[in-house]
Structure 1
Amino acid sequence: MKLFDYKEEKQHGRLDFPIEFYHVDENHPRYDMPYHWHTECEIIRILRGEFLITINEEKILAKEGDIIFIHDGVLHGGTPNDCIYECIVFDIKLLLKQNHVCTKMLQDIIHHNKLINMKLPRDLRILNLNAEFLFDALGSRYNGYEFITQGSLYNFLGIILQNELFTINNRISKKTQEKMMLFKKVLSLIEDNYSETITLDDLSKVAGMTPKYFCKFFQSMSNKTPIEYLNLYRIESACEQLLSTDLPITNVAMNCGFNDVSYFIKTFKRCKGITPKQYIKHIALSH
């Protein structure tokens, strides 16, 4: 599904090299991946632990050694468990430049005529070796890494086509589209208003459902209750503020929609395993 409104407003990489690398562990402020989409493709590699990721409506449990591919315009998010993972977000159109031989095959992927399998086989040695080159190049940024990166992306796609690790797109059903659009509306409300008071009634009204039915719907889409997801989103936003500002913890709590500081600290500890003060100290020591 393409072009949701719930878009991540962020440039990945440079204008002349639209590829970005992210290394994510428990210390990362966005360790839990909020649901979002972007106009670039994404490759996720699990280095340790597990990651339950939802891509549109499909839930995938990715484990150490797994590689996940996400097409542009696809809603995704999830919950890691004792996990370290790396992401590469890239504009696939970069590979079209001055390339006439591969243009038709790339256009099939760009236009979603061919959908690359979301979970790629962990036992395909050539694919894993290529992923090593790709992630190492972007993670290290040694001289000439741009050549290695683009070459590895061509190789990555070539291996996928060679081994037919894709399906022919028959388009998403109208019912699925409607469910995703409703889910997207709720996510947009949370993103835009998480610093304010948001009730279960507010969320269910946006989806046009009763609170009881809405809770079942939301949990089926995200594996979390609406309030669990809202609080987690607020805590992840608080982590960013704790690391990027000198604001007192009380102010950060208020900025992220918590009117009760003690409840904020309790929720923070439940989500992160430590208090906000311990979190700041832990991050400072780890750097």
Structure 2
Amino acid sequence: MKTLKTGEFYGQTNQTLHLDFATITDTEYTHDRVGWHYHENAYFTFILQGNVIEGNKKEVYTCTPGSLLFHNWQDPHYNIKPKGYTRGFQIEINNNWLAQADIDIQNLQGSFSIDNPQVKLLFYRLFKESKANDDASIPATEALLLQVLAGMDSSAVTGSRNRPDWVKQVKEAIADDLSHKFTLKELATTANVHPAHLSRDFSKYFNTNLGEYIRAMRVEKALSLMHSGKLSLTEIAMQCGFADQSHFLRCFKTFNADKPSAYRAVLAGGSTITHP
């Protein structure tokens, strides 16, 4: 079974950044199928455009724009790409940097999907920094990567069985219909818990309050829809539950520090970023 070296991925790699703490690649998937293989480093795959199916010994993931996977170095996997253009953003982590930063990822075994919207939003910012092409982008990228690792609560991945049932029910209810105007009472009824209990314990399992979680989910969904280029910003705002364009703009800039139009230009392949 082949082991891919640092910066090596199957497909057409359009950009590679070799940094002291990580290697970052922007790759177009060109192979219809890639057999079982390893990577020598632990790394993240963030799907920017298109679709890909990835399987390991335990699970199979159908990845769409906005899907985020973490792979520990020892885990073999395979890929199947449906027809069409598919683009991924990968960050391989330097083991020496992990040791110097006193970060232990050995408890993050195998490959798994990350659905935390706050962590996904950090990846959109990491992608943006990879295109910034200035001397501030390197420390900004390192700081963002540290935030990602801090946000990957290992108990949320390996100890999900210990979470109460209402956590999954609330998460699914919000994700299933982001355009819905949720109320605390409604979500509590869906999850069969008292509103006071939901309000009190929500941040324990979601690392933020209910309102900020919904806003983060909506912005993250909006970003994933931008990749297709098929929808206008007005259509994206409506699909994601924003009251109007002004509301969409305010929330987007809160999480991304850019106008949606400026970020869409980066996704289209721009090498630099124009801040509003």
Range class of TM-score, shorter chain: 0.3 to 0.5
TM-score in terms of structure 1 length: 0.46
TM-score in terms of structure 2 length: 0.48
Work out which of the two has the higher radius of gyration on C-alpha atoms and give 1 or 2: 1
